[in-house]
Amino acid sequence: MESAAVALISHQQNIPFIVIPALSDLAGDGSEISNEADIFGSLAAVNSVDVLVKFVGLLPQYRGSKVQSE
């Protein structure tokens, strides 16, 4: 939901973007034990950073390759 504004403006300006969510606060069925964001929040943040770093490393401009213009 928080990324909806970024998506809208990026789309309007024809700017590529990606969203890598760290954690959803609505996971589970709504019971007290189904949502343990306070327990797993740090792990989710670390995992999101790992995914982002690996993703950026796959981008051609960060591997030393030249990006072809469209």
Residue 49 lies in a domain: yes
The answer to whether position 19 is within a domain reads: no
Which range of residues forms the domain containing residue 66? Answer: 35-70
The pLDDT assigned to 70 comes to 44
Domain-embedded: residue 65? yes
pLDDT score, position 36: 67
Tens of pLDDT, residues 12-70: 999 988 888 776 655 556 566 655 667 777 888 888 889 988 888 888 776 655 545 44
- For residue 57, being part of any structural domain is answered with yes
Q: What is the pTM of this model?
A: 0.55
Domain tally for the chain?
A: 1
The pLDDT of residue 21 is: 77
Instruction: Name the helix (H) or strand (E) containing 42.
Output: helix 37-58
* Helix, strand, coil fractions of the chain, as percent rounded to 5: 50, 0, 50
| 25 part of a folded domain | no
